[in-house]
Chain A
């Protein structure tokens, strides 16, 4: 059953179109992450789903029911806000029960529900406190408790981790994921952080300038980004992209970077049949940093493609070393083993994983193959 389906949804403020023809179908039990840079419309979309904002056109169905004209409280949703939005004058317990109080749930039932949620989130000792007496992580838990206690069809999370420090953010990220695995709730989660999207989502909707660029599972988004925007937005550091030409040789297409230069790079492509119409034309060549490694690396059983490339900059991070090098004159980041430190200004051998190259149409910016 589709827990949430959005059809032909658009939103405009005066002359500004913030959402354009959005269509999403989210299955029950899915953890969908809406990710995109600030101003891409993801929070507006979430507010429209919650009923806090009205769409200019299109329909929203929650649990098979069109909810366009249904008040937020009757949509069977719960929302967690970036600022937590806890009621400052109420205790944690009152914060959690306020919704039930508004719905006239009997007191005994309220107490049972609070007890259950408090145990689940381990906030029992905090129930008597006011939000101002809680740390950021504790407030986050209370905000989640307030959502969980409702047991809704759909959970909406609006950048819930952005106000936490880096360490706590990673902890809470895992905790939310664990919670999802445990209770199997349907979650729509908005974030600008592509790592959160990759680590938590069962499906990611990448948004840019008011439209969904790609809606797929994290592996597909990462491996086959639908267009250059997705390729550059997902992944840190992002995918290396550079202008190139596609040429035909006897045994298949070859991508040429820096054609005509002395250091021109020619890479044979295997299994890129979809690229055939682009032979003899310009393309955008894309390769993930982890597909460029030190020369001794083997990516698969077959022999890797080795290239000599000048090294410009080395950034050791401890877990790996990032190397800025040039491929056919174009800058590219490589992710090599931590103990490998090629000297800047020299040339070194690098192994390329040519099976995971992406080619984009330079005009439409769409993925070719």
Chain B
């Protein structure tokens, strides 16, 4: 039946805006709501960061005093150093682990689907659960160290969780466990999109597997690598729940991260203005990562449109 043909003359067309109402509702309402939350609360936080607010928001202008106070505090300095260490170690190791897993999975092995699901599964677990589980595993009295002791190797020592210098690495380990599957999935998609003819051509040219990966396949993955690094970096910068559940910033303040500092200032010490300043500093760090990425994407797209 050709409904369209028989109905068109009989029924007047709906007004344009009525016909497109579902579109407007699904696009604009969520967009406006999230924009209102994101933009208005960001602006509000920026404003608060220049006020002398403590327990409750108050009007007033203190200039950059909150910022100087935050950046001068030992808490923030440790958090910032930790972020540099955690961010770079986590991003590099997670990308490397993901890439190795992807390359191994790409060898046409049996049970690939099962393995892929297993590696991706941690992503479905909340960071609080990851942090809690790893806090048990890494607890010398409960987890791995106890297991090895019980097996008879009593001199074995694995107490990074309570070691001031090594505790930050426990967060790195847990974060890699959680997110290397995500990197793997992206890299695997990239590996699968390499034209099989290119690999055949390399075979005829006489390139062994190492040279084929190093010279041909891996260079074609670098746009994906950038995406992985940026997504992981932004996760690293905003890490909160994982640390809160795993070490809660301890021992002492050895594993303090910026998000924990913000939480500490705002809700435990009731220094709203300083907390807001720390939050704005975090936002600036994020922008330092995201703006170059956005520019890079823009250039890539421009170049793609020309090619």
Contact = CB atoms under 8 A, between A and B. Distances in A.
Interface string B24-53: 000000000000000000000000000000
A52 B202 contact: no
Contacts of B216: 87, 89-90
A133 interface: yes
Nearest to B205: A99
Contacts of B220: 88-89
B307 A132 contact: yes
Given A88-B220, A90-B215, A132-B307, A79 B207 contact: no
Interface string A80-105: 01111111111000000011001100
B204 A50 contact: yes
B198 A102 contact: no
A293 interface: no
B197 A85 contact: yes
Contacts of B297: none
A22 to B, nearest CB: 21
Contacts of A47: 200
Chain A interface size band reads: 20 to 34
B201 interface: yes
Interface stretch (A70-78, A189-197, A218-226): A70-78
Interface string B184-220: 0000000000010110111111110001000110011
B213 to A, nearest CB: 12
A87 B203 CA distance: 12
A52 B207 contact: no
A81 B197 contact: yes
Contacts of B198: 85-88
Contacts of B195: 83, 85
Contacts of A86: 198
B113 to A, nearest CB: 21
A288 B78 CA distance: 88
B206 A103 contact: yes
A99 B206 contact: yes
A133 B206 CA distance: 26
B204 A78 contact: yes
A84 B216 CA distance: 15
A98 B199 CA distance: 13
B246 to A, nearest CB: 40
Interface string A16-59: 00000000000000000000000000000001001110000000
A98 B200 contact: no
Contacts of B202: 87, 98
A73 B215 contact: no
A154 B219 CA distance: 30
Contacts of B211: 102
A73 B219 contact: no
B203 A98 contact: no
Contacts of A71: 203
A79 B204 CA distance: 8
A98 B215 contact: yes
A247 to B, nearest CB: 54
B86 to A, nearest CB: 31
B215 A87 contact: yes
A25 B29 CA distance: 72
A262 B205 CA distance: 67
A103 B205 CA distance: 8
Contact of B205 (A52, A98, A132): A98
Contacts of A79: 200-201, 204
Contacts of A74: 206
Interface in A87-141: 87-90, 98-99, 102-103, 132-133
Given A87-B216, A88-B220, A89-B216, A73 B204 contact: yes
A133 B204 contact: no
A90 B204 CA distance: 17
A74 B219 CA distance: 26
A102 B203 contact: no
A146 to B, nearest CB: 8
B207 A98 contact: yes
B207 A102 contact: yes
Nearest to A103: B206
Nearest to B198: A85
A103 B219 CA distance: 21
Q: Which of B200, B204, B219, B307 has the most CB of A within 10 A?
A: B204
A279 B299 CA distance: 76
Q: Which of A84, A98, A103 has the most CB of B within 10 A?
A: A98
Contacts of B205: 73, 98-99, 102, 146
A73 B200 CA distance: 10
Contacts of B203: 51-52, 71-73
Contacts of A72: 200, 203-204
Nearest to A77: B204
Contacts of A73: 203-206
B198 to A, nearest CB: 5
Nearest to B194: A88
A90 B203 CA distance: 16
Given A77-B204, A78-B204, A98-B207, A133 B197 contact: no
Contacts of B204: 50-52, 72-73, 77-79, 99
Given A72-B204, A79-B204, 9 more contacts: A51-B203, A52-B200, A73-B206, A81-B197, A88-B198, A89-B215, A98-B215, A102-B206, A102-B211
13 contacts: A47-B200, A51-B204, A52-B203, A71-B203, A72-B204, A73-B204, A74-B206, A79-B200, A85-B197, A87-B198, A88-B198, A88-B219, A90-B215
Interface of B: 195, 197-198, 200-207, 211, 215-216, 219-220, 307
Interface of A: 47, 50-52, 71-74, 77-79, 81-90, 98-99, 102-103, 132-133, 146
User: Top 6 nearest A-B pairs by Cβ distance?
Assistant: A73-B206, A89-B219, A99-B205, A85-B197, A102-B206, A85-B201
